[in-house]
Amino acid sequence: MGKHYRPAGKKKEGNAAKYVTRTQAIRLLQISLPLFRKLCILKGITPREPKKKFKGNDKTYYHVKDIAFLHHEPLLEMHRAIRVHERKIKKAEAKKNVERANRLREKTPKPKIDRIIRQRYPRFVDALGELDDCLTMVHLFATVPATKEKKIDVDLIHKCRKLAHEWQAFIARTHRLRKTFVSVKGIYYQAEVEGQTITWLTPHALQQVVPDDVDIPTMLNFLQIYQPLLGFVNFHLYHSINLKYPPLLDPELEAEAAVYGLIRYAQSNNKPTILETSELVESEQLESKQDGPEIQNKKSELRLAQLQHQLPSNEPGALMHLVEKAAGEDGEEYDDETKQCKNLFQNVKIFLSREVPRESLHFVIPAFGGMVSWEGEKAPFAETDQSITHQIVDREAQGHRFLSREYVQPQWVFDCVNARIILPTENYMVGRIPPPHLSPFVDYGEEGSYVPDYAKTIKHLQAAARKEVLPLPGVEKDLEDPQNLLAEGIIDRAAANQAAKEKQKLMILEKQYHEDLKKELQGATYTSAGSTEVIQTGESLNNGQANIDDVDMAELVMPNKKRKLLKAMEISNQRKQSKNDTIIRRKKKLDEAQNQRS
């Protein structure tokens, strides 16, 4: 009698009754492995970890209920129908009945995903909570080249791009963006929607290479659920701010600046429902109700363009202001943080040079309340506009300069956004190597973590902006108001530079002073405790020995499990510490080298 003998007629018990292996599941469902995987992806079913792996450690286990869940899935039947249909197409092609084949191909049944989405994310908040991967994937596929041999469809990529733009437009319109981080891997964005923190990664605006060791069908399976999910989420969000979805854009503007166009669409289309002052618009809307959504969109778009042209050249952002004011009056309630974000670039007008990666800035600057323009036919204002305060330039040197504006590198925008203040621009000027770009996701609160210099500087500036701490008298004037600083910079750059230098010097002096103070304090304690020193050291030695013993003692009595855990912790802590140490060591070396040079 075997160890696992079960008498006939007796039911399975325990883990064996609760879980099935993958092979068992596939046999039960009578489907192929790829289809099983696809269903798992669509339905969000993952393997489970049974307490006892009754068929061996190398097997994948699924819960019986999960498999039953798949078993009742209409999608399963749908895929069977699709298979039958494909056979028909094949037959028609084999008989060279092209017409029938094409007709059949068009009639291929398409699985509906909306029910599954509803099932997986019963509430909107659930969907938002798990939107990270979806957004990252959609943004990635917006930059992937369409290739036939890998079955990456052009339509798919366009759809991805569209969805991504719509999402970004919503975030920018509602000023939900919180953090950005330009990394080597791409640009990270963090937004807060309905209390959910959503972080996604967009690749840099260069085309991705599709490596051969990546299984594209799997990713496409994921996209099959992600695309409609983002579509529904976008619809919900647009609906929540009284916007029509999907938005239609002027194709020229879309080609030039899709996100910007969408944001503007969102702002302008929002206007009539909130404001309802302009009869024209109202009547137009009435009209459009009869005409149907597309015509309405087009018309409004057209009208928008007209308005844009009618506006006086020196006040191109008036429309946006109007909208924003209206929004504010109407009591669109913003929490404090959103308000702060919204007003960050309130008085800033930014022009992007040709070479600047446009897409991300089109998204970030309006998201923080700034006005942005670029070189192009559909740009809201031209480069020659006198009211431009900043021009983003990403080249070695700028030839012709307007005195009325600052020429900064794109990193300035991202750093400002992360610091939530307008940073002084002298470090970011054209031709210079900008200061380090720091991750906003780092929490310096943790004890013993290394804080880079620039993070300290930014903290100082932030404090100054909040007027919490009064900096040293010489610096006060400069740091009192970043706007002031800005203005100063515009008036006289040289003076501003000097001021900055002074400020740095003073900061160094201040630091030194603090250090001296510390030293002095320590010295004082030494002198005061001088008489008892010998005894103290002796005692401390004893205590030290005792402490060491104590530690060892406690470890002796620990159970094995805990002891191993402790060891693991110690190792990881050591690793962390060593990482920190290497950074500090490198920093020291760098400082020394700099000192020698100077």
Within positions 57 to 76, which residues make up the interface with another protein, using CB under 8 A? 60-61, 63, 65-66, 69
Q: Which of 28, 85, 161, 203 binds another protein (CB under 8 A)?
A: 203
Q: Which of 454, 476, 497, 510 binds another protein (CB under 8 A)?
A: 454
Where b means 16+ CB within 10 Å and e means fewer, 280-314 reads: ebeebbeebeeeeeeebbeebbeebeebbeeeeee
Report the alpha-carbon distance of residue 297 to residue 50 in Å, rounded: 54
- 61 or 381: CB nearest another protein: 61
Report the alpha-carbon distance of residue 144 to residue 161 in Å, rounded: 10
Per CB under 8 A, 27 contacts another protein: no
Query: Site residues for another protein, window 208-237 (CB under 8 A)?
Result: 208-211, 213-215, 218-219, 222, 228, 231-232, 234-236
**Residue 144 · residue 157 · CB < 8 Å:** yes
Q: How many residues does the chain have?
A: 598
Per CB under 8 A, 318 contacts another protein: no
- Residues 6 or more apart whose CB falls under 8 angstroms from that of 305 comprise 250
User: For another protein, how many residues bind (rule: CB under 8 A)?
Assistant: 120
Per CB under 8 A, 113 contacts another protein: yes
Where b means 16+ CB within 10 Å and e means fewer, 494-526 reads: eebeebbeebeebbeeeeeeeeeeeeeeeeeee
DSSP string over 234-291: HHHHHHHTT--SS----HHHHHHHHHHHHHHHHHHHHHHHHH---HHHHHHHHHHHHH
Per CB under 8 A, 587 contacts another protein: yes
Please choose, out of 38-46, 369-377, 399-407, 524-532, the segment that lies near another protein by the rule CB under 8 A.
38-46
Q: Which of 469, 509, 524, 566 binds another protein (CB under 8 A)?
A: 566
- 342 or 390: CB nearest another protein: 390
**Cβ 401 to another protein, closest distance in Å?**
18
- 53 or 378: CB nearest another protein: 53
What does DSSP assign to residue 426?
G
Report the alpha-carbon distance of residue 515 to residue 518 in Å, rounded: 5
**Cβ 122 to another protein, closest distance in Å?**
5
- 187 or 257: CB nearest another protein: 187
Per CB under 8 A, 154 contacts another protein: no
**Cβ 227 to another protein, closest distance in Å?**
9
Site string for another protein, 400-439 (x = CB under 8 A): ---------xxx---------------------xx-xxxx
Per CB under 8 A, 110 contacts another protein: yes
**Cβ 224 to another protein, closest distance in Å?**
11
Query: Site residues for another protein, window 76-105 (CB under 8 A)?
Result: 103
For tokens 């800033």, name the residue.
Answer: 348
**Residue 458 · residue 423 · CB < 8 Å:** yes
Q: Which of 282, 291, 383, 394 binds another protein (CB under 8 A)?
A: 394
**Cβ 90 to another protein, closest distance in Å?**
20
- Residues 6 or more apart whose CB falls under 8 angstroms from that of 575 comprise none
**Cβ 141 to another protein, closest distance in Å?**
9
Q: Which of 459, 572, 574, 592 binds another protein (CB under 8 A)?
A: 572
Per CB under 8 A, 336 contacts another protein: no
Measured CA distances, 322 to 187, 235, 351, 370, 387 (Å): 31, 25, 21, 14, 18
Please choose, out of 2-10, 207-215, 369-377, 532-540, the segment that lies near another protein by the rule CB under 8 A.
207-215
φ and ψ of 19, to 5 deg: -120, 155
Q: Which residues pair with 451 in a beta bridge?
A: none
- 69 or 334: CB nearest another protein: 69
Report the alpha-carbon distance of residue 510 to residue 460 in Å, rounded: 12
Per CB under 8 A, 127 contacts another protein: yes
- 46 or 498: CB nearest another protein: 46
Which secondary structure element, helix H or strand E, spans residue 124, and what is its range?
helix 124-129
Which secondary structure element, helix H or strand E, spans residue 293, and what is its range?
helix 293-310
- Residues 6 or more apart whose CB falls under 8 angstroms from that of 316 comprise 308, 371, 373, 380, 381, 385
Per CB under 8 A, 186 contacts another protein: yes
**Residue 181 · residue 191 · CB < 8 Å:** no
Query: Site residues for another protein, window 469-488 (CB under 8 A)?
Result: none
- Residues 6 or more apart whose CB falls under 8 angstroms from that of 544 comprise none
Q: Which of 287, 569, 574, 592 binds another protein (CB under 8 A)?
A: 569
Site string for another protein, 253-292 (x = CB under 8 A): ----------------------------------------
Q: Which of 487, 517, 521, 583 binds another protein (CB under 8 A)?
A: 583
Task: Determine the distance from the C-alpha atom of residue 470 to the mean position of all C-alpha atoms in its chain, rounded to a whole number.
Answer: 34
Per CB under 8 A, 248 contacts another protein: no
What would the two tokens of residue 34 be? 């790829």
Report the alpha-carbon distance of residue 304 to residue 308 in Å, rounded: 6
